[in-house]
């Protein structure tokens, strides 16, 4: 199974756990190779668009419990050892949902396309909004371009003074990352900041 397919399968398991805590799931991503596999989970509180370290720890525990139960039932979706990272999306966050492109309208973003459009595989500029499933971005030194959400391979906000000012009221603690490492089943998650699963 490809890592992207596995991430999609895991998203379906993780999203209900995030919602149960009042969080929105931003992204689930698998990366690395044999012996160095990482499951990265980004989530946020809808009101602050951040998680603090306690939020990350709570979500990490819920995810670990679900995956441990699947392993005990012989249905472990991740067959090899991996590291679980739970974090807030941060200021220069990934844009993974269509609504993200509207919420962050007026801010600078970089969009990588599935296929080139007008000879461009990457679009960088200010987000100009969403209409239906179409995203408009005012591409620097070019023109405004409208693309389908399905044409986006990857996208993220770019760190700018404007973005920093827009997120300034938010606590910098929201950028904390919680890595949950559990070598032994009885490991105390409150006392550690990393977890590896077998």
150-193 pLDDT per residue, tens: 999 999 999 998 888 887 655 544 444 545 544 333 333 322 23
DSSP 191: G
Residue 194 pLDDT greater than 80, yes or no: no
pTM for the full predicted model: 0.77
Q: pLDDT band at residue 35, thresholds of 50, 70 and 90? A: confident
- Top-confidence residue, 186 or 43: 43
Nearest to 68 by CA among 188, 182, 157: 182
Structure tokens at 146: 């409208």
Give Cβ neighbours of residue 3 (< 8 Å, ≥ 6 apart).
30, 31
Residue 33 pLDDT greater than 90, yes or no: no
CA distances from 154 to 7, 113, 123, 160 (A): 15, 7, 11, 19
């Amino acid at each position: 199974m490809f890592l992207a397919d596995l991430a999609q399968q895991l998203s379906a398991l993780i999203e209900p756990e995030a919602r149960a805590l009042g969080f929105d799931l931003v992204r689930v991503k698998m990366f690395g190779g044999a012996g160095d596999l990482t499951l990265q989970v980004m989530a946020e509180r809808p009101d602050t668009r951040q998680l603090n370290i306690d939020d990350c720890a709570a979500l990490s525990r819920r995810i670990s419990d679900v995956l441990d139960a699947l392993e005990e039932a012989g249905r472990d979706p991740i067959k090899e050892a991996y590291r679980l990272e739970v974090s807030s999306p941060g200021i220069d966050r990934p844009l993974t949902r269509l609504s993200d492109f509207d919420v962050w309208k007026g801010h600078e973003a970089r969009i990588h396309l599935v296929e080139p459009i007008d000879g461009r595989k990457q679009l960088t500029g200010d987000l100009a909004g969403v209409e239906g499933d179409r995203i408009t971005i005012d591409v620097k030194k070019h023109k405004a371009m409208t693309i389908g959400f399905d044409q986006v391979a990857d996208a993220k906000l770019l760190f700018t003074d404007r973005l920093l000012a827009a997120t300034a009221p938010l606590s910098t603690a929201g950028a904390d990352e919680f890595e949950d490492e559990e070598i032994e089943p009885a490991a105390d998650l409150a006392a550690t900041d990393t977890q590896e699963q077998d």
